[in-house]
Chains A and B, each alone.
Chain A
Amino acid sequence: MKPDVEYDAIVVGSGITGGWAAKELTEKGLRTLVVERGRHVEHGKDYVTEWLPPWELPHRGRGDRELYARDYPIQSKNYAFGETTRHFFVNDREHPYVTAGDREFRWIRGYHLGGRSLLWGRACWRWSDLDFEANLRDGHGVDWPIRYRDLAPWYDHVERFIGVAGENLGIAHLPDQQLLPAWEMNCAERALKAKLEREFPGRHLTMTRVANLTRDHEGRTHCQARNQCARGCSFGAYFSSLSSTLPAARRTGRLTVVTDAIVESVLYDEKRDRAAGVRVIDVKTKQAREYHGRLVFLNASTIGTAQILLNSTSRRFPNGLANSSGEVGHNLMDHLSKAGARGAVPGHDDEYVYGRRPTGTYTPRFRNLRGPDSDKLGFLRGYGIQSGASREGWERGMARPGIGEALKATLREPGAWRMTMQGYCECLPRHENHIGLDAERRDEWGIPLVNIHWSWSDNEKALREDMKTQAAEMLEAAGCTNVRTYDDDAPMGFSVHEMGTARMGRDPKTSVLNEWNQAHDVPNLFVTDGACMASNSCVNPSLTYMALTARAVDHAVEELKRRNL
């Protein structure tokens, strides 16, 4: 089938960056096609579990164990997965991938319109030059081709639209942001903050900056404190492609969305030396068809984007499109998390909360702030710590002795306060951590399976050990009792912050993208999802992806006008 429409721009993927690309491209006047591999999801209407109280869940939240084991062995390990959210995760059996030596990698995916923007944790921090200069200063990876000043106005632009609640601290390595009023700390957290900051000058306990609205904003309603975001929110109270960017793009009248269409490869026109469009496989009919456009934006997620590039071969690019450097698929990173410390918070027995706050507290990075191993601890870079205090609920009764009227009377009242800290450790970019295409195995649409090779380096492990110790020390100093460290020894992918497989850089020989997220090899091809990242920082990455996307679109449209593409 030869389509008669040629689009100004084609965006592959409708998640957090695809949505932003669509909004910016259409608002700048481009007729834009968004291609989504999963099903259509209608904001509000398709949030089918949103209004179910606990007693209307067949297994009261526990789900169907056999089904999970058979079809969701990986997805079901994600914290947001459950009886109310399963339909926003892929079926692992239908969407397989392989790993080297069968070492578990948790590739968490949502194949539907809006992608993982429906499921994300919503924490929004800016990077700083401590991050953008890290590769240059310690020699790992390649130097970022941009610095904080290049991205700062685009952070402003994105934050003003999405709405981020939080407090500015005025610290250089965690730059101030455009913020709505912060969520508030509960009584226990306030007390812990006071002691922690007194005992550890320079360290902070602050509210997480989060894309849950504390005020009505941009036509969306403020957060109702239900804390069930991943079911979907018809108030539009947290930022997602479905609540925010895709509606904005639609309002321009220049947006076309195609769902159930898997991009198999990017078409390359050798004569013009340009990307010509995309070849897609229809999920239902398995028929191939093409879409043509003057610009191609890849926003298919870090691993998905690399898979498409590697599968787009031609005479000029036998090893994958825009891959003359050989770096496509390489330098895969994720944060090392799922470790930290927990403790009991004495007192505050007569204090409680109303409502379910959709976020927690945070301790920004405090290690190696003056450069590589500047704290002389034997490791590079650092970590941030997510945390939160709450009172134990009725569930505590499952783990302790007691039955009858006494048990019922006890559980009627809330239990003790507990504080948990979980660190997010920066991961070094290393060539050997990579994804490739499996030589033999293909999915049911004929696309070669992703093959993932990964390991943590000693640096990440050293960061984790220090983080656990420091988390425990801070809890003890803040007055917690019964402090214990924990470590789930989580595999890569667990933090769902995978990035790095088509990195930006100054040199086309060692990087895939230039300072505008533009492929060195193919000027009308842009990659603005997590694949573009040259290093990992320790903060949650989505905000940076969004700012890079808006900046890249601005450049692409200018270049198109100058007829340089």
Chain B
Amino acid sequence: MTTPADAIDRREALRRVALLLGGTLSAPAIAGVLAGCSQGESATRAWKPRAFSAEQGELVATVADRILPATDTPGARDVGVHRFIDIMMAEYYSPDDRRRVLEGLRDLDTRAQRAHGRSFVRCTAAEQLALLTALDVDAFPPAPVPQADASETERGGTGSPAATQTRSEPSPARREPHWFRTMKELTLLGYYTSEPGATKELRYVQVPGRFDPCVPLSSDTRTWAV
């Protein structure tokens, strides 16, 4: 629950952090983080994005909300994930990264126009989900299945010394990630580290006080946010 007093305390806490971090935290960034703390019926109202135009901001909010929609808990739009993405685009990512994501957003609208004759935000929920699912498949192609040769098949069962051969992980290719990967990554980060995401959708205990090494998992056990 957020009371005005809490909000003031948080603002103060953030100022102190900002000071500590070299005063790099802008007023809009503080507003954005605070918005992430509150249940955001006003999450898009009076919001001036910095890295995006107002239309792009709405598009980002729509995309984020399709990735993590409201269910029995708030969705990405409710917790202000788009504001967080805007902050990261403005303060964290390089101009090249920003360009890549903006091009991706433009391309998404082009796809929407081509398929449905409307911009993405004007498409139906089902149409939006279909467009994003296609993008998700592009961004996360199925990993190539490693070729299993005879010796490998054999060694699984025998436990022979040959079973000790292991493949080294290939070094990650140094190429730009698909823009939708960036969008999805930021949506997940922004959502699950928000107060509703961490405490309502998942579980967060700031001071556990003890460590229980083996706890049974029941059907309503949530992932730990941290």
Residues of A within 8 A of B (CB): 48-49, 51-62, 64-65, 67, 83, 86-87, 183-187, 190, 224-226, 341, 349-357, 393-395, 397-398, 400-405, 407-409, 411-415, 469, 472-473, 476-477, 483-487
Contact = CB atoms under 8 A, between A and B. Distances in A.
A54 B188 contact: no
Given A52-B13, A225-B210, A483-B166, 16 more contacts: A51-B206, A53-B206, A54-B225, A55-B195, A56-B10, A56-B37, A57-B193, A60-B84, A87-B20, A225-B211, A350-B217, A398-B181, A401-B139, A404-B129, A407-B68, A408-B69
Nearest to B73: A408
Contact of A353 (B137, B209, B211): B211
A53 B217 contact: no
Interface in B205-226: 205-217, 221-226
A408 B215 contact: no
B68 A58 contact: no
Given A58-B87, A354-B212, A412-B201, A485 B17 contact: no
Interface stretch (B21-29, B48-56, B104-112): B21-29
A242 to B, nearest CB: 17
B78 to A, nearest CB: 13
Nearest to A61: B193
B211 A412 contact: no
Interface string B58-85: 0000000011110100000000000010
Contacts, number: 205
B213 A187 contact: yes
A55 B198 contact: yes
A402 B136 contact: yes
Nearest to A189: B213
Contacts of A472: 164, 166
A539 B190 CA distance: 39
A184 B188 contact: no
Interface centre among A83, A187, A398, A415 (most CB of B within 10 A): A398
Give the interface centre of A55, A61, A411, A414 by most chain B CB atoms within 10 Å: A55
Given A53-B195, A405-B71, A186 B208 contact: no
Interface residues of B, number: 75
A412 B195 CA distance: 15
B163 to A, nearest CB: 6
Contacts of B201: 408, 412
B68 A408 contact: yes
A230 to B, nearest CB: 14
24 contacts: A48-B20, A53-B198, A53-B204, A54-B204, A56-B14, A59-B91, A60-B193, A64-B22, A186-B213, A351-B217, A352-B215, A352-B217, A352-B221, A393-B224, A394-B192, A394-B202, A403-B132, A404-B69, A408-B69, A408-B71, A412-B201, A412-B223, A413-B223, A473-B163
Contacts of A48: 16-17, 20
Given A87-B20, A486-B169, A355 B225 contact: no
A481 B92 CA distance: 37
B30 to A, nearest CB: 8
A60 B37 CA distance: 12
B67 A353 contact: no
A407 B223 CA distance: 13
Contact of A484 (B30, B164, B169): B169
B67 A404 contact: yes
Given A59-B88, A60-B193, A403-B132, A186 B214 contact: yes
Interface in B155-211: 159, 163-164, 166-169, 181, 184-185, 188-190, 192-195, 198, 201-202, 204-211
